[in-house]
Structure 1
């Protein structure tokens, strides 16, 4: 039974249009595209057309709340015709759609996780031996987090941005992405802690996404609001679960719009 007062949410998992290659899964230079090329600009306009049908009243982007003033300023400048959109998806899609809909701002909700003490000491502080051992395991262990991405074929260059967005937002792809966090570094152990891996993944991924979700809750959306979340696709393996499970929200299917 669907609660009538649930806020409708649409989550758009995206690849990063600027290709910063800050994630574990990276894209080589020769496989990247320039979203400012005319053919991709036309396709982005088509994607915005499709998302406009959801009629979002709130748009959420992958930027930290401390940068809210900066993005408010950039968005206002764009609306006034004095800012040229960067290559990033939050501007190419988010700013365009917000302007069309006459929205006053986009909401910055990103967050980092909080580390357990054992993780912080071993990975981020001055014990270089333990840090090297951890990083070697992270990147070189056969049972690696990269496992499900090894044979993955990204299609933005061959089939376009829309085809890639449809591909990475399928239920199968999103579910597979969560599985990556339950192997590889999740199994890492030290002499001091046989639960080091779960501690690291909890802080790195689960805690981070719970904090993002909490930031979205803080927007205090009303029952007639409609939230569009524009985020790196990897986050959907948890954010979709949170929205789908929460009594406050009703998660819609993004590919029904794409």
Structure 2
């Protein structure tokens, strides 16, 4: 009886050990097969701006009054405070990386000379207020508009160019009127309205009508514009780290492509700025 009981206990012990090992192996296998948690998304808010320092580098340019005047400074401070609610970790601006690296350090130290440029007035101010990192993501790009004009004039399409330019200039006049009436916040709300952002691409798309056969200057213009914006977006993507919250401050003409890039790039999540701009 005693030997039988001891044997029964031994079998039970071996069975328990076997079940324990099997359970351990099963848990190990499950842990190995379980999917890893996805990295935290990068939230990107693209804020289209007007050029505050009147550089005159676009085909059609908004004429801004002096943004260093007390009234405009108060408006810019209000915009900065509102955008700060997004709690950005990075602020990407329309200067190349090497220029931002130099001037951002000067701005933080208080040695950068006064500047009317929106990079300083909005970008650097927002980054300093929130403890975010200012990063330069702009690149140079070709804009072969002269070839489009030459082809259009030679092929009876000068009227198409004139109509597109007239419409673009009318939009500039409208933005100037909003700035005069509603201030900096008002014009930023205006140019960042999703319908207005989409409408702004009409000029570039209309250029596709200029060309024929092997000669496609309109398509080349659009391609050059998209190439520059693709390189800008690549710089943003390469700067991003999981969990980042990035405010992108760029001329409003870039907003359509940069928003599209943020919305369609895996790991990035587009945030509309309208909820953060003050009224």
TM-score by length of 1: 0.81
Q: Aligned-pair distance for 1:91?
A: 0.3
Q: Tell me, in whole angstroms, the C-alpha distance in 2 between the residues paired with 1:95 and 1:139.
A: 42
> Which deviations, in whole Å up to 9, do the C-alpha atoms of 1:55-86 show, x marking residues without a partner?
10011011123xx2x32232222222222430
Q: Aligned-pair distance for 1:5?
A: 2.7
Equivalent position to 2:246, from 186, 208, 227:
227
Q: Aligned-pair distance for 1:222?
A: 2.1
Higher normalized helix content (fraction of residues): 2
Whether contact under 8 Å (2:148, 2:221) holds in the other structure is: no
Query: Mapping of 1:56-205 within 5 angstroms?
Result: 56-65=88-97, 68=98, 70-103=99-132, 105-113=133-141, 133-134=150-151, 141-150=161-170, 153-154=174-175, 155-183=178-206, 185-189=207-211, 193-203=214-224, 205=225
Q: Give the SS at the match of 2:77.
A: helix
Give the structure with higher Rg (CA). Answer: 2
Q: Give the SS at the match of 1:158.
A: helix
Q: Aligned-pair distance for 1:8?
A: 0.4
Q: Give the SS at the match of 2:102.
A: helix
Q: Tell me, in whole angstroms, the C-alpha distance in 2 between the residues paired with 1:18 and 1:139.
A: 32
Q: Give the SS at the match of 1:231.
A: strand
The alignment's C-alpha RMSD in Å is 2.6
Q: Aligned-pair distance for 1:242?
A: 1.1
Q: Give the SS at the match of 1:107.
A: strand
Whether contact under 8 Å (1:146, 1:180) holds in the other structure is: no
TM-score by length of 2: 0.75
Q: Aligned-pair distance for 1:194?
A: 4.0
Instruction: Report how many aligned residue pairs link the two structures.
Output: 234
Alignment partner, residue 246 of structure 1: 265
